[in-house]
Chains A and B, each alone.
Chain A
Amino acid sequence: MIVDVNAYLGHFAFRRLRHNTAAPLLALMDSKRIDKAVVSSVSAITYRNAQAGNEEVAEEVRGHRDRLIPFAVINPFYAGWQDDLKICHEEFGMAGLRLYPKWHNYQLSSACCRELVNAATERGIVISIPIRVEDNRQRSWLLNVPDVPLEEIVELVKAHPKARFILLNGIGYTRCPLGRKDNGLPPNYVIELSRLSAVLANELGQLITNLGAERVMFGTGMPFKYPDPALVKLEVLDASGADKEKIRSQNAMTWLRL
């Protein structure tokens, strides 16, 4: 079983995506033997009213809930986010969030964001944070959205020890406390592997050594990215079969209560 915690549906403002509706995404998953994928709205990254994107995803995954697990994109500085959170959780059955602090222009340390994290935690909702959406060097002339600094994530996980975070599309964790052994941080976060090296510097292997295989999850970034590089990482990773199985699916199943 393979569970991908880093997948998307919808349109991106700056590049045409393929496999970005349910049927083609499922066909792609079938071809790669990926059983389940956590999906959120790409469109909500640039929609002013992110809830419209959540509604699109809720509609798109209808009939595919056994394989597509919808997460909500919530902007805690936008009017009515509390209502949106309630609808996404209670009506749409979304078991997690994706936050875009840089794209939506707020601080993770802001009171509004803290309120959102607390509200999600009370509901038992997982919070995922894509460190980046795409490589900054290919950005449009219209905008310059930086990656989320890992130092800001450190403060976030410290401030919310009962919350549960999945960190997506990141790299360089071993150069900051997040990826170090005995880092004094609560074990309330896991790291998705799509951008981690599995050979040469082998950050993936280092994270397993430092944090344990329980703290790493499989993700691809599709349909932004080819799923194959992430699959290749698992294939070449020097780890036990048991650890690979945790990364491939077990950790996600536990965290998402699947």
Chain B
Amino acid sequence: MSDVVLGRSGLGRHVAYVLRSNPVTTVAAAGAVVLLFVALFAPWLVPYDPVASDVPNALQPPSAAHWAGTDQLGRDIFSRILMATRLDLMIAFSAVSLSFAVGAVIGGFCGYVGGGLDRWVGRFVDVLMAFPLFVLAMALVAALGNRVENIVIATAFINLPFYIRFARAEVNVRRNAGWVEAARACGDSHLSVVLRVLLPNVLPAMAVQISLNLGWAILNAAGLSFIGLGVRPPTPEWGIMVAEGARFITTGKWWLVAFPGLALMLTVLCFNLLGDGLRDILDPRMRT
């Protein structure tokens, strides 16, 4: 990890340099801004009411009036995709932040304390990793109840082992570093050393992980709603829109599946590229 602390202006120059030399990251960052904008202001951007049905106009291919066509109830697919951005991003953001917060603290303490706690948590993580994770998420949503909050919890839960392992390993290599000793010598309690000294130092490395995980979380959540767990039908959500359109694909109504699928793909692509770019900025040595 970058042990050299860059000054503010040095960091700014470095970011500008990376963005210039890597235009893809710039495009991804712009894409992320657009996504956030759509998520925040979707209700004022949509050309049609995303849940209002208009049966005479059902299953219309894309046209000037309906950019992405209409679905089996005549609802405007483009409006539904815009509306769904908020829900999909919200699920992914909350799931990833939840599992980051819990995982970093647990992993941090394991790496710092070691011993019995570390062994038991390690074993728990091994058990979690022995599950096919998507199946575990399915079972969790089914067990906790078929609601959106539980998609968040399930997605957070299956991300947890990665954060625990990551934080544990990163903290473990630093626990005997000089500046940690210094903090202890200054009278910091162990709790404060982990939370205020070690974890902030690990944060840059974890930021990359977070960005890469966001894409995975979105795919997971969409997969869960595709098989009928979590989000319920009239709600616009990308996974469920694909699931509803699946029935019409064998009769050639491609736009019901293709546009929500494209939205999913572009969003995941955007976060993955951003993660790669972030890695270049924060950790020049891991560049591929």
Chain B binds chain A = no
